[in-house]
Structure 1
Amino acid sequence: MSKSSIKTESRISPIDQPYEDELARYPYSVRTWLQYIEHKQHGDFEDLCHVYERALDQLPGSYKLWKQYLDLRREKLQGAHPIHSKERYQEMNHSYEKALVLLNKMPRIWLDYLQFLTTQPIITTTRRTFDRALRALPVTQHDRIWEVYLEFAQAAGPETAIRVIRRYLKLEPQHVENYIDLLVKIEHFDEAAQKLVQVVNDHQFKSIRGKSNYQLWQDLCDLVVEHCNDIHSIQVEAIIRSGIQRFTDQVGLLYCRLAMYWIKMGQLEKARDIFEEGITTVVTVRDFTAIFDAYAEFEEEMISAKMELAAEREASGGESNMEDDLELDIRLARFERLMDRRAFLVNDVLLRQNPNNVSEWEKRVSLWGENRDKVVEAYNQALQTVNPKKAHGKLQTLWINFGRFYEDNGDLDAARAIFDKAVKVNFKAVTDLADVWCEYAELETRHDEFDRALRVMAQATSVPRASNTNKNPRTVNYHDESLPVQQRVFKSLQLWSFYIDLKESVGSVDATKQVYDQVMDLRIANPQVVVNYAVFLEEHQYFEDAFRVYERGIDLFGWPIAFELWNIYLPKFIERYGGSKLERARELFEQALTNCPAKYAKPIYLMYGKLEEEHGLARHAMRIYDRATTNVDDSVRLEMFQFYIAKAAANFGIVSTREIYEKALESLPDKDCRVMVTKFADLERKLGEIDRARAIYGYGSQFFNPKAFPDFWQTWHEFEVKHGSEDTYKEYLRIKRSVQAQFPL
């Protein structure tokens, strides 16, 4: 009999015998072994372990038995120091190794073993065991191992951590940020910078921390600037400059970072060059402000450092150094010049944003103040830079102000030369060129050169010559933007109006008439020009010519503008000739009323009737008023009838108005008939025509709802009480009931 069998038999108690008998029959039954183990749970630990070992001898590949056995042994070791209890720990390690002979594909066994190893001071063995676990398990289970492995590596020391994480990144490259943090933590700044460079250059990289590519750039810039002396493997300036090219909305910040890098490297002149480059190349005021403020702060700190150094030397009794004093003066002068340049630099930024911004060029000119050479240079630069078709603002003001600059300095020839150039510029709009021509003429008038001014305006308004594409220049479309403004400016009413004012002021009457006629011939005159022309002729006693101008204007514009011209023309004609040219006046009125819209007819009819009353025959006037009641607009027809009735009563008596009332009742709408019925009935009552008045009331009753217009029915009631009989009153009541039935409630 073997020793192990003897030992086993010595451990068997009578209460264990049933289990032993069962195992003798079924030695490979896991269930039976587990029941036996359960039976031994509250007994001696050594006995329990012995049962486990016997079970595992029979079933060495049982995961369940190994897991319970190993957990039991580990639990027993809790609290034991790994050095003082080294042998016990080694026995436990041996047990895990024995289990892994057949269970090397079980990640839980590996994890328990690895976690147990991390509590022991055997770093090399632990690291190699982690490697064995990774080789043994499928790659889908590696993440569970790496979670423990990374914790162990970071606790094992920086070198181990670096080597382990490098391997881990081959499997999970997206965790590179953790690696970078570790490198920074252990002050491996150069390698951290290299990794960050790789990250920011990888456009497919997605940060597990949700950082954008720009935020990673910021981290890189902060790292290389903060630890510039430790960075050797990368070109810091090239990296930051590539960021300036890529992140155009953060140019100012990146320039400041680059300058700070050179400051920390001790190359102050290089830093100053970077600041200068930044403030002269950025295109937004925000970026400029950031760089300029940093630049100014840098200069102030340099000055303060020099002044403190000089103060310390004086306090220690040392002699002043001429070179240091000179350098301090240079720095002060440089700082003062920087602050003086600020306005110009801001202007440069805005002009880089939009070189066609006219208002910024005007500010540029004003910044030079009394410096004539610089002002001229600024004007020339502006006029050479701005694209007339893309100008933002009024480009003509630049040319005009340039000319005035020379004028104010007494150089009229230079001013004229500027305007001669300006009128050849293909401006965006015709009005821009017209402004230049008018200002050119104003220049001459301010110096009493009226003949020159007239020649300028004559040149400005001259019709361009015919060409192959345009046989008749007068037919040029003023709004045709495909043509240069020089070919369209002759149709500018602004230009002609100025020319007319100039002619009226210093020219002859005939010359002024000629200019007015040119405007009329070009068909660009507006109603105000027509009226001004006529008034001008009247002032110079050319009345018939003035009347012809009105007629030309009426033909030119038509209705409704013709109505305003007729309202001016007809009273002037009547005032001029009265009744001496009555037939001609009648022809004018008939001409005015031909095709006249109804809404404009009333004033002309009233004026026509008044003419006949004062200089013709009353019956002619009545016929005109009668025509007016038919031809005026419906909204004023009632007023026209009332006026007609009043005129008829005044000229021919009240009786003559009956026909007018009857016509009004036939042609007016219901709401106006109510007014006429009441007045017509009152008229007949005054004339004593009771039956006629009753008939009018009866006719008008159809327009008056008894509930809406009780006053009418009360008036009729009083009329019947006073003038009627029982029969007529009954008829009144019958009509009232009948009318009331016609209107809905």
Structure 2
Amino acid sequence: ISQMPRIWLDYCQFLVSQCKITRSRRTFDRALRALPITQHARIWPLYLNFVRNLPLPETAIRVYRRYLKLSPENAEEYIDYLHSVGRLDEAAVRLAAVVNDESFVSKEGKSNYQLWHELCDLISQNPDKVKSLNVGAIIRGGLTRFTDQLGKLWCSLADYYIRSGHFEKVFDSYAQFEESMIAAKMETTSEMGQDDEDDIDLELRLARFEQLITRRPLLLNSVLLRQNPHNVHEWHKRVKLYEGNPHQIINTYTEAVQTVDPMKATGKPHSLWVSFAKFYEENDQLDDARTIFEKATKVNYKQVDDLAVVWCEYGEMELRHENYDQALRILRKATAIPSKKAEYFDSSEPVQNRIYKSLKVWSMLADLEESLGTFQSTKAVYDRIIDLRIATPQIVINYAMFLEEHNYFEESFKAYERGVALFRWPNVYDIWNTYLTKFIDRYGGKKLERARDLFEQALDGCPPKFAKTIYLLYAKLEEEYGLARHAMAVYERATKAVDTSEQHHMFNIYIKRAAEIYGVTYTRSIYQKAIEVLPDEHAREMCLRFADMESKLGEIDRARAIYSYCSQICDPRMTPTFWQTWKDFEIRHGNEDTIREMLRIKRSVQATYNTQVNFMSSQMLKATNSSTEVQLEQKMVPTAVFGGLKED
């Protein structure tokens, strides 16, 4: 019975009518396996009709691929189905295979050229969906194969590049088409003779080709601007293309500033206005340039900084032409307080209401006032910057230096005070450093208590990273104008307050200054403190220096005690230099008993370090063994579980 196709057909039709998709598909497959190959033609039509009606294109595609192995002449039916389900990439691949198969005969009566035409339309109109074929190579192959259809094929190639977004290749294709047409025309003329009409046609084609080549960059730029009219970079390129043609440049700039929306712009929209004004300036038309800048200042840019650049460029143009008063007026106008104040970062307000807080414009105005204005006008500008709370530490320092240059020392110190109130650490570091240095240079020890108050104020909340410089300045002040014990107290505080990486250097300075002021014996407590605080590497160095100092003072027992203390942090295998130094010391100042004691301590220390190493090794080995056992247990768990299941 399994060899009878009628039974299989009735059974399959019954399952299909019951909408049993998976069972129907498996039954069709069983029928194809059971029936001889000569009977398959009766099963396939029903099978294909079944999969075509399913909303499962992947299943249908797999079935069709099997079917085409038996009946490759029905490829057009498969291609039509792929079109209907949107599988254009595979449709193009199948159609290309059909076109390249010279033995293929279309059941729909299509010629090879018609199939080629369908392929060109498919791949040129769907460049984003056809990925498996080299479209350019296929169409160019058709140019040599179908010489009587060059126009159509060139248009298909251009259409493909347009839809792909490769606009430069569109023009290349068109140029190649014109070039090939000119070559064909010249060849025809040389073979068949020429008349006046042919000469005129050839001249027209040559002129058109030349114009195309000349206008190619401009045409490409036009396409890109149609894609995105707010692309500032492309507008600048367009201006360069019109170089040497002032009328077209002006028209381009005018169109650009009218077209580009600052809120949608790609690039910096203010640069168009600035370049437009500079073009007029370069052509000695200052009034027109001023008009452009005035209009530019009224544009609602996306960022305040864009408007600030316009105002600064406006002022710089006037400076270049030595119109200094005009430049000052422009920047004063830019920084004038608007009737409706707004926060700098409030994007809901137009930039014209926020420009008064632009540091870029204020900085340029301050520079101009210093160079061209009066002392009072410059001071007023700096005061306004600080009042608006837009100053930087450098602005504060510049203000104080300006006041100092005009001998307003107390005013300059007040400027530093205002700057200190504005900023926190670490931004305030440069202000404090400059302030304290200038104050000491100015008053020295005349206002010592005030200077001390300033240092204490500076050190309040100072991070360890920045404390060293201020402490050294403070200690220097006390050494030169104050009390030595105050200086030592400052050094003592510094060793605790500075960053850990700078403690060693700070202790070295402390020891050096203490020895110079009070003598070397005063440094004993400092050495002891340093040895307690510093890490082992620096503590060893301090111990050696401490012991050397004691031996020079004749305090042999003190030096020996220091060596003995330091030995506890000196592994003989890692620090042989220390042990050699101690040995040399005992040879010079000790006896047989002290040398024997030194060797005993060395053996004891070495044994201690060996014990530590052995303990660490055992712990590491134990940890390794534990992890290995855990891994073995994890591997054994699945086996045990499944073993238990099998026994049940």
Q: CA RMSD in A?
A: 4.8
Which residue matches 2:193? 312
Q: Aligned partners of 1:418, 1:282: CA distance in 2, in Å?
A: 39
What is the one-letter code of the residue matched to 2:271? T
Aligned pair 1:425/2:299, yes or no?
yes
Contact 1:258/1:274, CA 8 A, preserved across alignment: no
2:262 to 365, 388, 397: 388
1:520 to 1:307, Cα distance in 2 relative to 1, 3 A? farther
In structure 2, what is the Cα distance between the partners aligned to 1:682 and 1:452?
A: 74
Partner of 1:679: 545
**Contact kept? 2:127, 2:163, Cα under 8 Å:** no
Q: Secondary structure of 2:391's match?
A: coil
Question: Contact 1:357–1:391 at 8 Å: present in 2 too?
Answer: yes
Aligned to 1:212: 91
CA distance in 2, matches of 1:380, 1:485: 22
1:200 Cα deviation from its structure 2 partner: 9.1
Q: Is 1:288–2:170 an aligned residue pair?
A: yes
> In 2 relative to 1, CA 176–411 (structure 1 residues): closer, same or farther, beyond 3 Å?
farther
TM-score normalised by structure 2 residue count: 0.69
For 1:605, the equivalent position in structure 2 comes to 471
Asked if 1:513 is matched to 2:372, the reply is no
Q: Distance in 2 between matches of 1:722 and 1:202?
A: 103
Aligned partner of 1:533: which letter?
Y
- Describe the SS at the equivalent of 1:369: coil
Task: Give the letter aligned to residue 530 of structure 1.
Answer: V
Provide the secondary structure at the position in 1 that maps to 2:84: coil
Q: Counterparts of 1:707 and 1:258 in 2: how far apart (Å)?
A: 83
Amino acid across the alignment from 1:503: E
2:62 aligned partner: none
Structure 1 residues 712 and 248, CA gap change in structure 2 (3 angstroms): closer
Residue identity matched to 1:558: R
| Cα distance per residue 1:636-671 (max 9 Å; x no partner) | 323323322222222222233333333334444443
1:292 alignment partner AA = Y
Q: 1:563 aligns with which of 429, 432, 452?
A: 429
Mapping for residues 391-410 of structure 1, pairs under 5 Å: 391-410=265-284
Alignment counterpart, residue 325 of structure 2, candidates 445, 451, 455:
451
Partner of 1:545: 411
Over residues 200-241 of structure 1, what are the superposed CA-to-partner deviations in whole Å (9 max), with x where a residue is unaligned?
Answer: 99524989xx96248759999xxxxxxxxx99xx9x999998
Can you give the 5+ residue segments of structure 1 that lack an aligned partner in the other structure? 1-104, 106-137, 148-171, 181-194, 221-229, 314-319, 467-471
**C-alpha separation in 1, matches of 2:156 and 2:590:** 113
Deviation of the 1:397 alpha carbon: 1.8
1:633 aligns with 2:499: yes
The TM-score normalised by the length of structure 1 is 0.61
Provide the C-alpha distance between the structure 1 equivalents of 2:475 and 2:160, rounded to a whole number of angstroms.
Answer: 83
1:588-643 superposed Cα distances (whole Å, 9 cap, x missing partner): 22222222222322222222222222222333322322332333333332332332
- Offset at 1:398? 1.5
Take 2:575 and 2:164, find their aligned partners in 1: how far apart are those partners? 82
CA distance in structure 1 between the partners assigned to 2:314 and 2:97 by the alignment = 57
Q: Name the CA distance, whole Å, in 1 between partners of 2:304 and 2:143.
A: 50
User: 1:435-450, aligned counterparts within 5 Å?
Assistant: 435-450=309-324
> What per-residue deviation string (whole Å, max 9, x for no partner) do you get for residues 250-302 of structure 1?
99999999999x99699x9x999999999999953254135322442255247
Query: Who is 2:15 aligned against?
Result: none
Return the offset for 1:711.
3.9
Number of residue pairs aligned between Structure 1 and Structure 2? 544
| Cα 1:530/1:299, change in 2 over 3 Å | farther
Larger Rg: 1
Tell whether the 8 Å contact from 2:335 to 2:361 is kept in structure 1 after alignment.
yes
2:515 maps to amino acid: A
How far residue 247 of structure 1 moved from its aligned partner, in angstroms, is 5.3
Q: Is it true that 1:621 corresponds to 2:487 in the alignment? A: yes
CA deviation after TM superposition for structure 1 residue 721, in Å: 4.8
Give the Cα–Cα distance (whole angstroms) in 1 for the partners of residues 596 and 156 of structure 2. Answer: 112
Would the alpha carbon gap of residues 609 and 302 (structure 1) be closer, same or farther in structure 2, given more than 3 Å must change? same
Counterpart of 2:401 in structure 1: which amino acid? V
Deviation at 1:173, TM superposition (A): 12
**Is 1:664 the equivalent of 2:530?**
yes
Partner deviation per Cα, 1:295-321 (whole Å, 9 max, x = no partner): 422552475268548x935xxxxxx75
Q: Secondary structure at the match of 1:458?
A: helix
1:411 aligned to which of 285, 308, 333: 285
The answer to whether the 8 A contact 1:282-1:288 is kept is: no
In structure 2, the residue matched to 1:33 is: none
The Cα of 1:735 is off from its aligned counterpart by 4.1
Q: Distance in 2 between matches of 1:605 and 1:355?
A: 61
**Structure 1 segment 464-503 matched on structure 2, within 5 A:** 464-466=338-340, 473=342, 476-478=343-345, 480-503=346-369
Is the Cα contact below 8 Å between 1:252 and 1:291 reproduced in 2? no
- Contact 1:283–1:352 (CA under 8 A) maintained in structure 2: no
1:174 and 1:375 map into 2 onto residues whose CA distance is: 65
User: Structure 2: any 5+ residue segments left out of the alignment?
Assistant: 1-5, 7-34, 45-66, 100-109, 612-648
1:347 pairs with one of 221, 229, 232: 221
Secondary structure of the residue aligned to 2:610 is: coil
Rounded to whole Å, the distance in 1 between the matches of 2:436 and 2:400 is 13
1:152 is aligned to none
Asked if 2 retains the 8 angstrom alpha-carbon contact of 1:399 and 1:419, the reply is yes
CA deviations 1:154-175 (Å, max 9, x no partner) are xxxxxxxxxxxxxxxxxx9999
Match of residue 462 from structure 2: 596
Q: For 1:350, what is the secondary structure of its paired residue? A: helix
Relative to structure 1, the CA distance from residue 375 to residue 214 in structure 2 (aligned partners, 3 Å threshold; closer, same or farther) is farther
- Provide the C-alpha distance between the structure 2 equivalents of 1:249 and 1:630, rounded to a whole number of angstroms: 71
